[in-house]
Amino acid sequence: MDSDNDIMPRKEGHKRLLQKIAKVVSIISIFLAVVSAIYLLTINSEDEKVLKASIGAVAFFCFTLGIVLNAIANTNLPDLRINKNNKNNKTK
């Protein structure tokens, strides 16, 4: 560890509202990614290159967004709120 005044983190079981929202949106994103990928597989026409690329982009967007939001939702985030009783920033 790089500093002497390390404090072990508190265990915070509960997730914040924004994390809960992130979880729901991540599930929706993954679902949309799957739907877009299936739709992409059904486009066969050579004339539909732009549509293919766009649907591919949507699938990729939704998939990566879903994974990222899921990671954010599952993280035990530190309490970043500052309140008057917070004395964490005492200097040595």
Binding residues (CB under 8 A) for other proteins: these are 1-3, 5-10, 49-50, 52-54, 56-57, 60-61, 64-65, 67-68, 71-72, 74-78, 80, 82-84, 86-92
The three-point CA angle 47-37-46 to 5° equals 10
In angstroms, what is the minimal distance from the CB of 58 to other proteins?
9
d(CA 43, CA 33): 16
Nearer to other proteins, 35 or 63 (CB): 63
In angstroms, what is the minimal distance from the CB of 54 to other proteins?
6
CA atoms within 13 A on the CB side of 73: 15
